[in-house]
Amino acid sequence: MKFNIKEKLDRINPIKKNADGKRTFFGKKEDGEGTNKFFDKVGDYFNPEPQKERVLRHEDFNAAGDVYYASVSAFYKVGERLLWLILAIFMIFSVVTNYKEITFDNFFYLLKDFSSAADSEVPQYQVLSYDSDSRQTFALYRGGLVSASPSAVSVFTAGGRRTLKSNNEYYSPNIVCCDKYVLVYDSAGSAFSVYNSFSQVYTEQLDSPITNATFAPDGSFAIATKNEDGKAVIRFYGKDLKYRGNVPDSKYVMDMSLSAVGDRFCKVSYQAGTGKGLSTLTLYDIASKQTASKLGEVEIDGEFPIGCSFIDGDRIALLTNNAVHIYDKNCKETEELTFYGESIRAFEVSADGVAVVTGSESQKNVRAFDKKGNLVYNSSIAENVSALSLEGGYLFMRTATGVIRIDIRREESEFLACDSGKMLIYGEDTAMVCGDARAGYLVFGKKQ
């Protein structure tokens, strides 16, 4: 039995003919007025039959016997145009739901980000140069580098191109970053500013000196201040950079952290207590824009707090001068590792976990907890370590002559020599060392 291509296409064709020979689309006549003409045009657009002789006629396919390929072509034609329709609907939906974000400045930053994205994919690592200053500090931001000195804040791409240089007056600048913003505050003053890759987007002068600041990944942040009476106030700002409220504290706030989605906040504070010192870890729910509600509190007598951070699953990691404490999302302790009086020589407390070097000049112990709160590394080292950091399954340690990378799973290590400078971890295979006037990359795992 031989099939006719026109009969086969008619079965899938949304365009039908009436008894009078007029074509219809979903019941609309070809020669109608108003909306009928619109449906006629839509019908023509989605009609799988060849139009305006741009392809072979169906009769040509019949003669050649290529009925199957004509049918496939018709289906692909309709599919293509359906995808264009879905794209148009998506664009309209995006514009309607995000119309407040459609501004000239955002378009400007979007266009400038194209070149930044290209720089982040450079095949060879570059040396980044900047003005030398003994009091400047550094942080990684969007695959590049931020440097803050008492006179300027600069943002560099991975390729070494400077996208921002903002003059400022910070006697002792500090940097905290998330993927969205950079926050620079003066630990010797009460001013702070927020930047993106290209400009300063917010600045504020507070009434009390700033002691700490932290970001959530979505761009919301918190700032701790301390007044003349020694009382602290933690101020909360949303991802829109608007002030949301505050939480007072009669003790000195040593460190604080925001959860991954910005709905929880923890802080560790300190006071003299009974004479040996009292550390207090407090957990808050800040999902409401009106008030912050306390979820839990832990007091640790006789220990001095050093740092705290949310880790995976809203767990909290706390480092003191005597131990590492891991708490669950309800502020209940699940893990504890005591140092037995060993002095801390280097440490890191972050969303990736806790790493700490303790011991004497001749014998040092290195311990690391991953972001799930599990002890993943516990060993000794002879070298003097000035800084260390966790990145995925690797532990990086800065020594006097270079950087050691330890593969925690395989218990293998690799050393690369470098000049003096601050160590930043660019990725599992790359460290950045920021010297007085330039920053260079150390790439591990490369065959010599």
The residues spanned by each domain of the chain are 5-99, 340-448
> Does the pLDDT of residue 25 top 60, yes or no?
no
Q: What is the pLDDT of residue 436?
A: 85
pLDDT of residue 114: 53
Digit-coded pLDDT (tens) for 394-407: 999 999 999 999 99
Q: Tell me the helix, strand and coil percentages in the chain, rounded to 5.
A: 20, 45, 40
- Cβ–Cβ under 8 Å, residues 328 and 337: no
Please indicate whether residue 168 or residue 7 has the higher confidence score (pLDDT): 168
| Least confident interval from 131-140, 294-303, 403-412 | 131-140
pLDDT-based confidence at 122, cuts 50/70/90?
very low
- Position 350 confidence tier, pLDDT thresholds 50, 70, 90: very high
With CA atoms as reference, report the closest residue to 267 among 189, 214, 311: 214
pLDDT, position 5: 47
Q: What percent of the chain clears pLDDT 70, i.e. is strictly above it?
A: 77
> What tokens were used for 430?
């790359």
List all residues 6 or more positions away from 356 whose beta carbon is below 8 Å from its beta carbon: 319, 324, 339, 344, 346, 347, 348, 366, 367, 368, 388
pLDDT for 104-114, tens place per residue?
Answer: 556 655 555 55
pLDDT digits (tens, 9 = 90+) for 27-84: 444 454 555 666 666 666 666 555 444 455 555 555 444 566 667 777 787 888 889 8
Model pLDDT, residue 67: 62
Closest CA to 354 of 343, 370, 365, 338: 370
pLDDT for res 169: 84
Q: Is the pLDDT of residue 24 over 60?
A: no
Q: What is the pLDDT of residue 160?
A: 80
- From residue 80, alpha-carbon distances to 15, 87, 105 in Å are 18, 11, 34
* pLDDT at residue 47, as a whole number: 63
Q: Distance between CA atoms of 122 and 158, rounded to whole angstroms?
A: 8
pLDDT band (50, 70, 90) for residue 220: very high
Q: What is the pLDDT of residues 418-437, one digit of tens each?
A: 999 999 998 899 999 998 88
What is the predicted pLDDT for the residue at 20? 52
Please determine, for residue 101, whether its predicted confidence score (pLDDT) is greater than 60. yes
- Is the predicted pLDDT of residue 415 greater than 70, yes or no? yes
Residues in Cβ contact with 146 at an 8 Å cutoff, skipping those fewer than 6 apart = 138, 139, 140, 153, 154, 155, 156, 175, 177, 182, 195
Residue 360 has pLDDT above 70, yes or no: yes
**Which of the listed CATH numbers 2.130.10.10, 3.40.50.2300, 1.10.1040.10, 3.40.50.300 matches domain 340-448?**
2.130.10.10
Burial class (CB in 10 A: 0-12, 13-18, 19+), 231: middle
